[in-house]
Structure 1
């Protein structure tokens, strides 16, 4: 048997369930991510998302798990991995080491048990397993006469702590083989985070392809587009609901909203008393409540604030000027469930102008569902999507059928959509077609094998064609694989 070998246990039929196994020799392997399937996506064995939590591959050779980042579709099956008998360490970046216990606590409560004693024992086990790796630093995982394996994490720019993984394998009498798992790569001009830089080389590249068939809208003007869409929505004199993932997207939105409020307040100061600083549609941004209704997102945001050393220069400069990008005055956090229900009733009854950010990002669970059930039937309210909606999720149904006055099923009940539905581009935390291509072609030594994962079939096909064309232009050989 010729090593190394790569098995894919997820993210081959779509964009969730990331889990890849690098078999280094007959007795040593490494897992990269172990995530949940979401929406209508299935495992390679054909099991649907809802029933596919079990770990259905042998673990006897798995020496460690590397978590590229802490989104649930990359780490959500870790409780089941441990239950299946995995005994090795969990390697991740230093920021991810802070965030991962929060994510896994939530996953454990949702899928295993809410018993506090069990939760605490489980979290203690998780924290004992985590090894936090500094970026740009090699970590030796295996060092024997037959195999040497080193792992290095580099910034991926997707969310705080995200990394792509370089794995250096050396066998007796051979040179080293460099295998790179991209995880989820970020896009340039993202708030808070530096853009990812391609590595020097890779022999084998496992590359995400979420947006392999399209380009993002201009990210540099997205704040203006966000402001315009929200002002248009608030002209209906209702609430704007923004479904957002608790980590990453929520913090980016808060960062952008703080900047809008800051600029509007500055305009108010410059034009008072003549204007009172209101926008063209009567939106008084400095007085507009921004409601973060997600205990998990609030906890993540607190950790984001504590990890400012990993922010980019623009964000640090704002802090230096006395601004609080993730903790501004207009931000209202809702933690207790009773307070959440009261907020839903209040906004549904009064339809007062407000912005609500709540999870989950694809409307499949979480507090956003209660807002949607209470408000979708009222045309004064609006739902604004700023992220990818996987097929089979309520979010995708809302995007597809909402503009046509259709319906969506939530918690087994059918709801007619009268609220406005809008989508704004440029907020994806993933690299687009151009970014993915640059990640490959800006390496000094291009990979000879590329395996495309984490994308719809059309995205993988388009990216594969683009890569083959670029390799042909440079007269370089390449094998491109799309695992199924």
Structure 2
């Protein structure tokens, strides 16, 4: 067999901690992603213990990063500490974004000591191998085997990719012992990473691979379909208008990379007048700057806006808040002045970051609104606010209870993940279809729902969950 097995060390029964090891043989393997566990998936004990690398990495030739979200790359410090010496392979845009993500994660989770941070970032940057999309890259070429990988656009965030791994097992010539010139014993394994929705702003939609003998497929939204882009833009504007009627602030918890830039892109199109949009996240500001520099990777629609002289990620009413003192002043001003405004701040699940101070100051005031535009994992404050806010319940932030009187709304269409329809179409679009599909990166209900519908689409596929 051209490969031995696939083992999952995260995102097997949930949506965080993505980490999958493809064993080529006893001496060679690949690691696809090495992400942080979040929310309830960190377990009840010391969360650092859950992040530790507790599996054998001695055979790992390379770490392949599908994209730079923390639940896909956040365990890289632990991987390096465990002795990993190989390259970190990613797309060209991800190579620019990855150090920004890992610097922030290192400072928050391990050490703020500048010397340690610089040493760590130097180590990471020396390992990065940036690959262009659509081109094969050889990782192993011996008498026995040839292993190549190729990255394809996944449409999830800028730089995101799904990974094609082509494993060939060679049969040496009986006369010379040289590898056979033509080899039929080949298997193509595809790791989807996180696939984007077909209407994600700024990014082209993902196209299915030509071939996938084995497909490791995310299933985050395997049980539901998103709203159309037109509907979600209408709902976003309506939610903002409702929130501003009371002279309050609309708080939007959003991840620093991907979701924030999508929101800014949409707001530039729908907001009128001088209403301030406050981006209160130094990390999100850095990523937004990087997105601007990576314009060649934007889609056709975004380039059309640029040609019209528009500024999708730098419009005139966009204000950025950098220092911590400025942040505290902004929280106080918006909580007490009654001046209308929109705040975008991290983290997206309200479990860290500057959004916490806004929530503490405003959750108990009915003038304000909290607008969720992304998935809230079980066990996070975001999920609690989403669940109990409409019932005037409470949420715990930094060990204290806060009554929720602010209006709470959710717009599901802004997920950067493909919905059930998108996932099914991805599988159906593979011309040389899969013999086996492994569903990962999803809670139990979405995985079961996706398994059922894929089984109806093609009952010859072996579906594993």
Task: Please classify the TM superposition score into its range, dividing by the shorter chain length.
Answer: over 0.9
Unaligned runs of 5+ in 2: 172-183
Q: 1:183 aligns with which of 190, 193, 211?
A: 193
- TM normalised by structure 2 equals 0.96
* In the alignment, structure 1 residue 481 sits paired with structure 2 residue 438: no
- TM normalised by structure 1 equals 0.92
Show the counterpart of 2:112. Answer: 114
**Cα distance in 2 between the residues matched to 1:57 and 1:187:** 33
**Cα distance in 2 between the residues matched to 1:416 and 1:244:** 22
Show the counterpart of 2:28. Answer: 28
Describe how 1:353-432 pairs up with structure 2 within 5 A: 353-432=340-419
The CA deviation string for residues 179-210 of structure 1, in whole angstroms up to 9 with x for no partner, is: 00000000111110000000101000000000
Show the counterpart of 1:136. Answer: 134
Describe how 1:42-441 pairs up with structure 2 within 5 A: 42=42, 49=47, 51-173=49-171, 174-261=184-271, 285-441=272-428
**Cα distance in 1 between the residues matched to 2:99 and 2:405:** 39
* In the alignment, structure 1 residue 469 sits paired with structure 2 residue 456: yes
**Cα distance in 1 between the residues matched to 2:22 and 2:14:** 20
Q: Give the conservation status (yes or no) of the 8 Å contact 1:39–1:49.
A: no
**Cα distance in 2 between the residues matched to 1:399 and 1:112:** 30
**Cα distance in 2 between the residues matched to 1:359 and 1:64:** 31
Unaligned runs of 5+ in 1: 262-284
Q: 1:443 aligns with which of 398, 414, 430?
A: 430
The CA deviation string for residues 76-101 of structure 1, in whole angstroms up to 9 with x for no partner, is: 00011001100000000000000000
The alpha carbon displacement at 1:42 in A equals: 4.7
Q: Give the conservation status (yes or no) of the 8 Å contact 1:68–1:164.
A: yes
**Cα distance in 2 between the residues matched to 1:48 and 1:230:** 39
**SS of alignment partner, residue 41 of structure 2:** coil
The CA deviation string for residues 379-402 of structure 1, in whole angstroms up to 9 with x for no partner, is: 101100000000100000001000
Report the CA distance shift for 1:48/1:466 in structure 2 as closer, same or farther (over 3 A).
farther
Show the counterpart of 1:276. Answer: none
**SS of alignment partner, residue 403 of structure 1:** helix
Show the counterpart of 1:277. Answer: none
The alpha carbon displacement at 1:110 in A equals: 1.2
**SS of alignment partner, residue 422 of structure 1:** strand
Q: Give the conservation status (yes or no) of the 8 Å contact 1:41–1:48.
A: no
Computed over aligned residues only, the root mean square deviation of the Cα atoms, in angstroms, reads: 1.3
Q: Give the conservation status (yes or no) of the 8 Å contact 2:351–2:382.
A: yes
The alpha carbon displacement at 1:117 in A equals: 1.4
**Cα distance in 2 between the residues matched to 1:195 and 1:344:** 37
The alpha carbon displacement at 1:175 in A equals: 2.1
Q: Give the conservation status (yes or no) of the 8 Å contact 1:10–1:20.
A: yes
Show the counterpart of 1:269. Answer: none
The alpha carbon displacement at 1:225 in A equals: 1.4
Q: Give the conservation status (yes or no) of the 8 Å contact 2:376–2:382.
A: yes
Report the CA distance shift for 1:194/1:47 in structure 2 as closer, same or farther (over 3 A).
farther
Show the counterpart of 1:19. Answer: 19
The alpha carbon displacement at 1:51 in A equals: 3.9
**SS of alignment partner, residue 82 of structure 1:** helix
Q: Give the conservation status (yes or no) of the 8 Å contact 1:351–1:381.
A: no
**Cα distance in 2 between the residues matched to 1:223 and 1:126:** 39
Q: Give the conservation status (yes or no) of the 8 Å contact 1:40–1:48.
A: no
**Cα distance in 2 between the residues matched to 1:418 and 1:391:** 22
Show the counterpart of 1:275. Answer: none
The alpha carbon displacement at 1:447 in A equals: 0.4
**SS of alignment partner, residue 25 of structure 1:** coil
**Cα distance in 2 between the residues matched to 1:39 and 1:117:** 30
**Cα distance in 2 between the residues matched to 1:415 and 1:143:** 59
Q: Give the conservation status (yes or no) of the 8 Å contact 2:2–2:24.
A: no
The alpha carbon displacement at 1:49 in A equals: 4.7
The alpha carbon displacement at 1:217 in A equals: 1.2
Q: Give the conservation status (yes or no) of the 8 Å contact 1:36–1:49.
A: no
Q: How many residues align?
A: 453
